[in-house]
Structure 1
Amino acid sequence: MTDHPTILLIGTCDTKWAELQHTRQQLLSSPVHPSPSVILLDIGREPSHHEEITIPHPSLPSPCDIDIKNDDHEPKDWASLPRQSYLEAATARTRRTIAHLRTLNQLHGILALGGSCGTTVATAAMRAACPLGFPKVMVSTMASGDIGPYVEETDLTMMYSVVDIAGTNSILTRILDNAAAAAAAMAAVQFRREQQQQQQHHHHHRHPQDNPAAAPELQRAAPPKRIGITMFGVTTPCVTAIQSLLAASPTATEVFIFHATGAGGKAMERLVREGGLDAVIDLTTSEVVDELVGGVLSAGPERLDAAAAAGIPQVVSVGACDMVNYGPPGTVPERFRGRRIWEHNPTVTLVRTSPAENEEVGAFMVGKLRRAKVPEKVVVVLPTRGLSMLDVEGGVYWDPEADGVLFRTVEEGLKGSGVEVVRREEEINDPAFARGLVEGLGRATVSTIPARPNIDPSGIKHSTAVIGIWCDISICRSAVTAASIRRILIP
């Protein structure tokens, strides 16, 4: 661990040297305390010879002691490569550099400058090598348009350069100064965070009486259980009710709500893969609809993969699967003109799903959940009285036939899989349905306890419905019987 923050500055030194040099100096003279050091990584196609470059073009020897292990097959002469091959090589080298520095605990933030190619390289590497919450800033000529492909599911910060990064001027230098100040401050926070974590680690080892592993009789308070929940505006009341129920649990929980806009689902999947969530209530799976039908809020074909692969408790529902999402009304494809179309707001237009589309959605979900690592930890809960605020009796999207196809496809497809499927005679935003989801989470967590899908939620007290959720799994498997769990859940 260093005694000051370190920032990785990334850019093409052959085309943007003056701008990188200015930004480097701004970082070094930052008023934050302690002031950062800067590692400058050159990703230019042509080699540049400047003593300030810490990690030069791969064709040049490195003047520093940072040993970036190169792929033996990696081309060194980037200038002779086709553009796409150069981008791939530069991205791979940048990704390895970031990963190496993070492994050494010698990196606390990243700042990159670039046009279209530089932005492509730097953002791809940051997305791949940096966890959520790690400081990463991109000053780009591309930041005023569609930045989705650059940011994806991450918290990457984009700053628009306004003018091209092609020569310093009064506008660009102010923007670069702001970017440097932001990156330096972020890195300082990350540095302090890592220092605190290291101090806590040393404290636990120096004082074994505080270490639960060394002194089981002196168990410290367990960290909160981290639960991811997916939400749309049309499923918000259900999520609010779930939050209230979890807050009433005697065990601390930390809730992460993901807006199911494509990037939200991707972010949750990524966080699960990184080990950042202990359980998932995947209430709003509408991104699957957009992936299959062609809407604009798809989270990609990997949706529903991560939790199933990780084997964590997973409660899945079909929230907002009654709709396909598009932009303004004029963007809705002509083939949907005969459908029920709802203008949610001036920039979001919804198309009601058909029975055939719902069958496809159900089959997609079945295919994902049947591959669950621990099927007993997966519970599917179906709201038979409606999938969203719009899909309720008398609502503009009320369609029992289409919903019924979805329910039957899921039920029949998961028979014999070990995954529990529960029908509840409520619409998705009914508080009783939220209680059913939380009960399902309890059963998924204590996966050895037999499923009890016929619990009457009206007879369960608000506080006792969640008492049994977060039993320690090892204790539950060895000491807690099904009868005792029933006594916990049923007053």
Structure 2
Amino acid sequence: MTSNPTILIVGTLDTKLTEILYLRSAILAQGSCQTKVLDVSRTPQGADSTKEVPEDELIEPLTGHADELSKLSRGDYVDKAIALCTPVVQDLVKKDEIQGIVSAAGSTGSSLATALMQNACPIGFPKLMVSTMASGDIKPYIGETDIAMMYSVVDIAGINSILKQILSNAAGAVCGMTVAHAQQRKEPEATQAKRIAITMFGVTTPAVDNIRKVLTTTPHDVSDYELYVFHATGSGGRAMERLIEEGRIDAVIDLTTTEIADELFGGVLAAGPKRLEAAVRKGIPMVLSTGACDMVNFGPKDTIPEKYKDRNLYIHNPTVTLMRTTKGENRQIGQFIVDKLRATKSPANVRVLLPTGGISMIDKAGQPFHDPEADRELFETITDGLGESKVEVLRSEEHINGEAFAVQVCEQLLDIMGIAPRQYRLANARRRKWSFDHGKTIQAVRRASQIEIPEA
């Protein structure tokens, strides 16, 4: 008989023993999952806190560090505990000894537990955090991952009827997620489609829609490509980088690199200084463009830094104000891209495609961010900076949101992936007798690929 999946409960048993024990009993009462308990106590030897957890369930990586931990400040203790416990949780996940993770804590315990969830558990692995902090700014706890957070309503400081209900609900939720995850993993995998990541912003949405249309209709086939669209809002870029690192992306169309502008100039949607590094390091096929690099993102207009008050500003909506990048700023954005791409050990797998007709919905004739000179500075910085490298830089006269540009992007990516135009789904084409009702985009692909249309 197959054993039930196991949920790892993370908790500070020196301060939250009663609450963790209740959560454990609530999980076991579901009858669908087993438990292990990871004690991350600052004083793991204090009291007889662990005797109520069966020895074969209890994991105590901090026991040998009790003296050191007791002398550290609260912040240093959290950092040290994360460093010591992360490899332990990673090993449990790698060996498939746990299939879900849950915790219940205040601010300090939430920081510790969610760091373990972020650092040790891949995307898709069930993660649930019951926290006193869940009704506030939870970005530091979630990052770019899929941690689910549940507000505890009352403090996690003693069992009462309200907290019992919350923890019981949490037990049901994490058991449901864990069982579903375990069952899904047992299902036989279908033939793996090529997993392609695409970055998108509101002002480059038509471009991404066009690319998706090209890749998922004749002469291509939706079964051949699984497309992941990432909203370039900082967390979106980080999520994509993470999935690339986890080996779950086969190719990248990094169309919208606007997060770089926010990173360099204080915008609110920065993805961090390591943006672009994962695909370069992994050497997977990548086509990169400069979508929405004409803007830096801020919040409501009254939150714009004083030094930017007199700039070309555009109110995208009541909570988002865009600032047009200058020639000097575009030079820095271009240099950021150059520095990242020059680090590649697989230059043949990288192409840069520059749309000289405009790089966002509001960067074209008659629109508020139309500034050909600023764009030219960006393009020339990239072209000159990669000139002596083996990374190919191509220019297109098209606007980034034009159908023709989408065709060009797809052609470049498929060429890197080794999918020759004459091989595009000919077998399916003969079966389907070719359809001519897909619009101008698909007709453009046919013309570009020079495929002979088979007779009915």
Q: Verify same fold: TM over 0.5.
A: yes
TM-superposition CA deviations, 1:19-47 (whole Å, max 9, x none): 2121111101116xxx1111112212123
Instruction: Find the counterpart in structure 1 of residue 42 from structure 2.
Output: 45
The answer on whether the counterparts of 2:404 and 2:441 sit within 8 Å (CA) in structure 1 is: no
Of 305, 330, 333, the residue aligned with 1:361 is: 333
User: Aligned AA for 2:261?
Assistant: V
The answer on whether the counterparts of 2:37 and 2:59 sit within 8 Å (CA) in structure 1 is: no
Taking structure 1 as reference, are residues 448 and 411 closer, same or farther at Cα in structure 2, changes over 3 Å only? farther
Instruction: Find the counterpart in structure 2 of residue 241 from structure 1.
Output: 210
The answer on whether the counterparts of 1:376 and 1:447 sit within 8 Å (CA) in structure 2 is: no
The answer on whether the counterparts of 2:39 and 2:61 sit within 8 Å (CA) in structure 1 is: no
Instruction: Find the counterpart in structure 1 of residue 183 from structure 2.
Output: 192
**Residues 1:385 and 2:385 are matched in the alignment:** no
Describe the SS at the equivalent of 1:268: helix
TM-superposition CA deviations, 1:271-300 (whole Å, max 9, x none): 111110000000000000000011010000
- Distance in 1 between residues matched to 2:266 and 2:215, nearest whole Å: 35
User: Aligned AA for 2:197?
Assistant: G
Of 136, 145, 155, the residue aligned with 1:154 is: 145
Taking structure 1 as reference, are residues 165 and 422 closer, same or farther at Cα in structure 2, changes over 3 Å only? same
**Residues 1:414 and 2:386 are matched in the alignment:** yes
Instruction: Find the counterpart in structure 2 of residue 211 from structure 1.
Output: none
Describe the SS at the equivalent of 1:415: coil
Structure 1 residue 77, shift from structure 2 partner: 4.7
Instruction: Find the counterpart in structure 2 of residue 217 from structure 1.
Output: none
Structure 1 residue 104, shift from structure 2 partner: 2.7
Describe the SS at the equivalent of 2:310: coil
The answer on whether the counterparts of 2:280 and 2:340 sit within 8 Å (CA) in structure 1 is: yes
Of 129, 153, 170, the residue aligned with 1:179 is: 170
TM-superposition CA deviations, 1:277-327 (whole Å, max 9, x none): 000000000000000011010000000001111111100000011110111
The answer on whether the counterparts of 1:11 and 1:20 sit within 8 Å (CA) in structure 2 is: yes
- Distance in 2 between residues matched to 1:256 and 1:66, nearest whole Å: 39
TM-superposition CA deviations, 1:413-456 (whole Å, max 9, x none): 1102111111111111111111111111022223999xxxxxxx
Describe the SS at the equivalent of 2:38: strand
The answer on whether the counterparts of 2:312 and 2:324 sit within 8 Å (CA) in structure 1 is: yes
Taking structure 1 as reference, are residues 287 and 465 closer, same or farther at Cα in structure 2, changes over 3 Å only? farther
**Residues 1:137 and 2:99 are matched in the alignment:** no
User: Aligned AA for 1:275?
Assistant: G
- Distance in 2 between residues matched to 1:136 and 1:105, nearest whole Å: 15
Instruction: Find the counterpart in structure 1 of residue 432 from structure 2.
Output: none
**Residues 1:111 and 2:102 are matched in the alignment:** yes
Of 262, 270, 279, the residue aligned with 1:307 is: 279
Instruction: Find the counterpart in structure 1 of residue 292 from structure 2.
Output: 320
User: Aligned AA for 1:394?
Assistant: G
User: Aligned AA for 2:193?
Assistant: P
Taking structure 1 as reference, are residues 296 and 264 closer, same or farther at Cα in structure 2, changes over 3 Å only? same
Structure 1 residue 490, shift from structure 2 partner: 12
**Residues 1:223 and 2:192 are matched in the alignment:** yes
The answer on whether the counterparts of 1:460 and 1:489 sit within 8 Å (CA) in structure 2 is: no
Structure 1 residue 66, shift from structure 2 partner: 7.3
- Distance in 2 between residues matched to 1:391 and 1:308, nearest whole Å: 28
- Distance in 2 between residues matched to 1:78 and 1:246, nearest whole Å: 54
The answer on whether the counterparts of 1:246 and 1:466 sit within 8 Å (CA) in structure 2 is: no
**Residues 1:163 and 2:140 are matched in the alignment:** no
- Distance in 2 between residues matched to 1:448 and 1:371, nearest whole Å: 27
Structure 1 residue 375, shift from structure 2 partner: 0.6
- Distance in 1 between residues matched to 2:151 and 2:407, nearest whole Å: 45
Describe the SS at the equivalent of 1:319: coil
Structure 1 residue 356, shift from structure 2 partner: 0.6
Describe the SS at the equivalent of 2:228: strand
Taking structure 1 as reference, are residues 464 and 65 closer, same or farther at Cα in structure 2, changes over 3 Å only? same
User: Aligned AA for 1:3?
Assistant: S
**Residues 1:126 and 2:122 are matched in the alignment:** no
Structure 1 residue 83, shift from structure 2 partner: 2.1
User: Aligned AA for 1:43?
Assistant: V
User: Aligned AA for 1:97?
Assistant: V
Instruction: Find the counterpart in structure 2 of residue 285 from structure 1.
Output: 257
Instruction: Find the counterpart in structure 2 of residue 203 from structure 1.
Output: none
Taking structure 1 as reference, are residues 435 and 165 closer, same or farther at Cα in structure 2, changes over 3 Å only? same
TM-superposition CA deviations, 1:211-269 (whole Å, max 9, x none): xxxxxxxxxx8420000000001110110110011102146100000000001000101
Structure 1 residue 12, shift from structure 2 partner: 1.2
Taking structure 1 as reference, are residues 71 and 168 closer, same or farther at Cα in structure 2, changes over 3 Å only? closer
Structure 1 residue 407, shift from structure 2 partner: 0.6
Structure 1 residue 163, shift from structure 2 partner: 2.0
The answer on whether the counterparts of 1:245 and 1:466 sit within 8 Å (CA) in structure 2 is: no
Instruction: Find the counterpart in structure 1 of residue 433 from structure 2.
Output: none
- Distance in 1 between residues matched to 2:17 and 2:148, nearest whole Å: 22
- Distance in 1 between residues matched to 2:419 and 2:181, nearest whole Å: 38
Describe the SS at the equivalent of 2:443: coil
> Any stretches of 5+ residues in structure 1 without a counterpart?
55-62, 201-220, 450-457, 468-486
Of 311, 315, 321, the residue aligned with 1:349 is: 321
Taking structure 1 as reference, are residues 175 and 295 closer, same or farther at Cα in structure 2, changes over 3 Å only? same
- Distance in 1 between residues matched to 2:447 and 2:347, nearest whole Å: 23
Fraction of identical pairs, as percent: 48
The answer on whether the counterparts of 1:322 and 1:397 sit within 8 Å (CA) in structure 2 is: yes
Structure 1 residue 76, shift from structure 2 partner: 5.3
Taking structure 1 as reference, are residues 306 and 411 closer, same or farther at Cα in structure 2, changes over 3 Å only? same
Of 76, 83, 91, the residue aligned with 1:85 is: 76
- Distance in 1 between residues matched to 2:173 and 2:69, nearest whole Å: 32
- Distance in 1 between residues matched to 2:453 and 2:208, nearest whole Å: 23
Structure 1 residue 353, shift from structure 2 partner: 0.8
Instruction: Find the counterpart in structure 2 of residue 26 from structure 1.
Output: 26
* Equivalent residues, number: 430
Structure 1 residue 488, shift from structure 2 partner: 5.5
- Distance in 2 between residues matched to 1:81 and 1:10, nearest whole Å: 21
